[in-house]
Structure 1
Amino acid sequence: MRVLCVAQGPSHVQWQIPLAWAAQLAGHEVLVATRPPFTDQVTRAGLPAVAIGDEAAVDALTRAAKQEFLAQVGRRVAEEGGSGFVPTERELLVAGGRKMIAIAEGMADGAVALVRDWRPSVVVHDTGALVGAVAAAVAGVPAFGHTWGATPDGVFDIADDYLQPYFGPLFEKFGVAPRTTARAWIDPSPPSMRSPIPVPRIDMRYTPYSGPGVVPDWLWSGTGAPRVCVTTGISATGGSAPWSDAVQETLVRTLLQHGCEVVVTVKDATHPSLRGLPSGVRVLESFPLNVLLPTCAAVVHHGGAGTGTTALALGVPQLVLAHHLVQRQWGTQVERTGAGLMVRTDVEAGTAAVAAAARAVVEDAALRENAARVAAEIAAMPDPAAVVGLLREASESRSSGLPG
């Protein structure tokens, strides 16, 4: 079997690595296709990468989609006679889906050329790489979606009246009928964290993967103090945090005053935003969270699904400092499970809420118990090898008993 995995961006690639590993270990041929700037993430994981997509086209198309959305907002403001109009969450989710279709447009020519040359048996694409559905239709093979934690509902509603006029022509360009949904969605998120939208799913245990790293000698010795990881995830640029300097200062000083050992993980340890950190704070550059978090009492992050799901899988309570919609969506889901807390940095007038939440995420025994419960839920899910078996059945029969 030839398995083509398609991922669109830096925070999406890592979700498909465990399944790609499992397929390769089972003796199948695997390729991971992604946009040119992100192929190094694939090769660092020991997998073959293929660069697809025109970055200039992707940039232009996503800018156009954003301008279209802003124009719609402007018309609504004019219609309602004031500047107080705020888009609904549904409108924001649909705008996110439109952006993903724009990215697919910029990747389509490369993806179709690849499947015509390599002839995969099955295509697995992440929720941000809708071009995978187009490539599978051209190749005439099954397409499976691969979610990434808190997948925006707008992706599951890709066939709705607003998005379909944009998505359908992308299939028609290559002479194939539109496929509006995947055969099923491979879902590594625990059931207690999922969107209520009824889509066919294949459960798969989340395997934390955050890339390579050299383990420092202090990691497992510790100081006896509760260790707290503060991270912005790989989707943040450089070492900058997606929250204000005042929030970061309050957060770190509160944790230090509370007797915690603070470890800040960043992509770039030389970033100017780190110069104001108090003495005693450790900084780790590009270090795998799946190695660090088992030594931590809690993690504070920006609402990234990769960071958050890694914390859930390892039973570590989390504090989400959320600013935009997708981050708030993740924080809301975490709070619903009781495994963490959220502070909305887009609406909080001060930093008192951050200080209170920082103390609570370290102290609250109920958060630890709930985090452990969700970790057990994840551990009970089928492993990636089981999902590879389902993909093989689908590629061989094209009519297996899979969901949907």
Structure 2
Amino acid sequence: MLMRVMICVFPVPAHLMPLVPFAWALQSAGHDVCVASPPGYPSGVAVPDFARVVNAAGLTAVPCGEPAPLSIHDMAYPGYADLLPTREESESYVDALGIRDKKDRDAWDAFYHFALLTIRDYHPPEPRPDIGALVEFARSWEPDLVLWEPWFPAGAIAAGVAGAAHARILISPDSTAWAHERCVAAGRTSLLAEAMRPLAERYGLAVDDELLFGDWTVDPNLPGLRLPTAVPTVPARFVPYTGAAVRQEWLDTPPERPRVAVSLGSSGREFLKGDWGRTAKLMEAVADLDIEVVATLNANQLEDVPDGVPANVRVVEYVPLDQLLPSCAATINHGSYGTFMASVAKRVPQLICDTDEPARLYGTATDAGIDWEFQCEKAQYASTTSAYVTECGAGVRLNHQVQSPSEIRELLGAVLEETSYREGARSLHEEWLTLPSPAGIVPRLEELTALHRAGKARN
């Protein structure tokens, strides 16, 4: 059976990229695939003209509604102040849920301070016109299957209205299901369920586990990074899609010295100035080594290095990691999930930048707007990925706040010289290979769609 498949995603490249290989796999099997989302907005969180990003990936875009400010980040919802993340609310849940160890606290912080805030942007108490347009597109197009990522659960509402089977595709460890189950077990209100309730009730849908987590979940996390939940899953391989570009000729010449990639993220570099002194320290650390460094950094990230980079560093603002990493002996990166998995896929040892502070975001409404408190100098998932790389012997953790350039230089030298790190990266790569590819799970998605769609009625 050929299917119509509608993919729903928060309009930002970092959320789309992990889904692209699954969309390609479904298209290659003959299924009709589209990506439906709000058109985006120049807020620094969502991006404008998101359809262009979708089209650049070779996919069909369906922009739903008109560009509109985000409900919380852009203060477009009249009651936005009540939906900002606060220290008091977060800590009350931490106490009630009995969260004690660091792994659990990191999972809670990922849900409350980032995923929930982003969910509220498009799912405020008063439903948004662009989300209404998305639901109406699903009603008229009648997809057989809706795939959605956990930070944009409007896809579940669209599926319920259209009578479609639906499933989540995780883009990181499943903090949303984990947090919901912890809340239910502790007898506390599920913040995820409450965020979804107004939109669900508007369309006469029950706020149950099926709505919140799909008929099933596609889980492309490595087994050791999965959070314990009761949701039914289809394991899959996280195949990194890192964009497309004309291949640069210098990549075709094998490096004469060990090549090291430095990649510190793209999501925030367009609006964040500087890099907390991290880039300057890294540049000083690599300056005296007999290596070739390729740094994918833009002007904002290089603001802390006003006198220029060392002679052994080539700065390239953008090159797809799947083009660059195969020639690299190591990568120094910021620990985001996509960059971490790209390194795993290319069997490259990693030095992941992390710090000892928590990644938490608080907001206070003022007469001048929102006063954001976000002081940590690391990526959201840096602690998770650095701990896993270290545990697997596939790399080391860097902390620019406490380590000197000479200490960083010694760690990089060890990763390049000691065979154990290459063996660890190879083992991690082999674990990744044991998971079925996006193309490999297409028959299972077809079976589950037929099973779950049977008997579903359109709303």
TM-score by length of 1: 0.85
Q: Secondary structure of 1:177's match?
A: coil
Partner in structure 1 of residue 206 of structure 2: 177
Is the contact between residue 293 and residue 311 of structure 1 (CA under 8 Å) also seen in structure 2? yes
Of 66-75 and 230-239, more deviation after overlay is shown by 66-75
Name the CA distance, whole Å, in 1 between partners of 2:426 and 2:288.
26
Partner in structure 2 of residue 43 of structure 1: 55
Question: 1:43-192 maps to which residues of 2 (within 5 A)?
Answer: 43-52=55-64, 54-58=67-71, 59=73, 60=75, 64=81, 67-70=84-87, 72=89, 89=106, 91-92=108-109, 93-105=111-123, 108-148=131-171, 150-151=172-173, 153-158=175-180, 160=183, 161-163=189-191, 164-178=193-207, 179-192=211-224
Q: Secondary structure of 2:86's match?
A: helix
Q: Give the CA deviation at 1:226.
A: 0.7
Partner in structure 1 of residue 364 of structure 2: none
Give the 3 Å change call, closer, same or farther, for CA 26–349 of structure 1 in structure 2. closer
Give the 3 Å change call, closer, same or farther, for CA 12–195 of structure 1 in structure 2. same
Is the contact between residue 228 and residue 260 of structure 1 (CA under 8 Å) also seen in structure 2? yes
Partner in structure 1 of residue 457 of structure 2: none
Q: Secondary structure of 2:84's match?
A: helix
Q: Give the CA deviation at 1:390.
A: 1.9
Is the contact between residue 274 and residue 300 of structure 2 (CA under 8 Å) also seen in structure 1? no
Q: Give the CA deviation at 1:20.
A: 0.6
Residue type of the alignment partner of 2:116: R
Which of 271, 281, 303 aligns to 2:313? It is 281
Partner in structure 1 of residue 365 of structure 2: none
Of 357-366 and 11-20, more deviation after overlay is shown by 357-366
Name the CA distance, whole Å, in 1 between partners of 2:418 and 2:316.
26
Question: 1:14-29 maps to which residues of 2 (within 5 A)?
Answer: 14-29=17-32
Name the CA distance, whole Å, in 1 between partners of 2:155 and 2:393.
35
Partner in structure 2 of residue 336 of structure 1: 391
Is the contact between residue 251 and residue 354 of structure 1 (CA under 8 Å) also seen in structure 2? yes
Q: Does 1:254 align with 2:285?
A: yes
Deviation readout 1:154-210 (Å, 9 max, x if unpaired): 454346323122222321122211222222221222223322344322122232211
Give the 3 Å change call, closer, same or farther, for CA 94–209 of structure 1 in structure 2. same
Q: Give the CA deviation at 1:309.
A: 0.2
Q: Does 1:33 align with 2:51?
A: no
Is the contact between residue 147 and residue 168 of structure 2 (CA under 8 Å) also seen in structure 1? yes
Give the 3 Å change call, closer, same or farther, for CA 134–341 of structure 1 in structure 2. farther
Of 331-340 and 62-71, more deviation after overlay is shown by 62-71
Is the contact between residue 269 and residue 284 of structure 1 (CA under 8 Å) also seen in structure 2? no
Deviation readout 1:199-254 (Å, 9 max, x if unpaired): 32212223221111122221131342110110122323239687423x32232232
Name the CA distance, whole Å, in 2 between partners of 1:65 and 1:5.
30
Name the CA distance, whole Å, in 1 between partners of 2:327 and 2:62.
36
Give the 3 Å change call, closer, same or farther, for CA 61–162 of structure 1 in structure 2. farther
Q: Does 1:396 align with 2:450?
A: yes
Deviation readout 1:35-87 (Å, 9 max, x if unpaired): 422322211111111224654134337964663425647999xxxxxxxxxx9
Name stretches of at least 5 consecutive residues in structure 2 with no aligned partner: 40-47, 94-103, 184-188, 355-377, 455-459
More helix by share: 1
Question: 1:358-377 maps to which residues of 2 (within 5 A)?
Answer: 358-377=412-431
Name the CA distance, whole Å, in 2 between partners of 1:399 and 1:75.
40
Of 335-344 and 309-318, more deviation after overlay is shown by 335-344
Q: Give the CA deviation at 1:384.
A: 1.4
Q: Does 1:238 align with 2:260?
A: no
Q: Give the CA deviation at 1:313.
A: 1.0
RMSD: 3.0
Of 227-236 and 310-319, more deviation after overlay is shown by 227-236
Q: Secondary structure of 2:148's match?
A: strand
Is the contact between residue 158 and residue 181 of structure 1 (CA under 8 Å) also seen in structure 2? no
Partner in structure 1 of residue 234 of structure 2: 202
Name stretches of at least 5 consecutive residues in structure 1 with no aligned partner: 77-86
Of 211-220 and 53-62, more deviation after overlay is shown by 53-62
Is the contact between residue 251 and residue 358 of structure 1 (CA under 8 Å) also seen in structure 2? no
Q: How many residues align?
A: 387
Partner in structure 2 of residue 264 of structure 1: 295
Q: Secondary structure of 1:219's match?
A: helix
